[in-house]
Amino acid sequence: MSDGPDVAGPDSDPDLGQRLRSLREVHGLSQRELAKRAGVSNAVISLIEQNKTSPSVGLLKKVLGCIPISLADFFALETLPRAQVFFSAEELVEIAGGAVSYRQVGRDLSARALQILHERYQPGADTGEALLRHEAEEGGVVIQGELEVTVGDQRRVLRAGDAFYFDSRLPHRFRNPGEVEAAVVTACTPPSF
């Protein structure tokens, strides 16, 4: 039996490449570092991870021994579904509608450290008289119209291209003082709602 890779066939594990990539990334290894430790070329690791080649049992044992993990444990691993990276406008999730609209990037933020919103404020709309507070940091860039931002005792009207960034534990409020819809893209860490 050869230690070299074989051409991927119909009986090869379609998740093998994803399993190896996920395991390598969890251990903080680059393809180059794993290849170096295993004594193989970087191309071999790349081809395995892309499922373009099916490694022999000997080669796979050699590579996994560098992590280290047994073959049995490797094949028992649950493969994690790939996280969605790109979102069309229709895939943004409306989490508050009406005069103030919050459209969130991504549906489930339970395992995420960052919340990204596309916010829209109709003329005269605001987040309310009561100032907001939450355990986070947030920032944003106005992309259309005007947005009055109050943070603590500071207040400023921002226009397209202007930005803000602050500690969300400070009392804050957003209001559209203009006559056209205001739009802003914001980020909050950790997600606040």
Neighbours of 5 (CB within 10 A): 18
Residue 117: closest CA among 94, 149, 83, 144: 94
* pLDDT value of residue 1: 40
Given a contact cutoff of 8 angstroms between Cβ atoms, the answer to whether 12 and 54 are in contact is yes
d(CA 1, CA 62): 14
Query: Could you give the domains of the chain?
Result: 16-82 (1.10.260.40), 89-189 (2.60.120.10)
**8-state DSSP, 120:** E
Overall pTM > 0.75: no
What pLDDT shows up at residue 71? 87
Q: What is the pLDDT of residues 66-103, one digit of tens each?
A: 998 888 888 887 655 667 889 999 999 999 878 999 99
Q: What is the pLDDT of residues 111-137, one digit of tens each?
A: 789 999 999 999 999 999 899 999 999
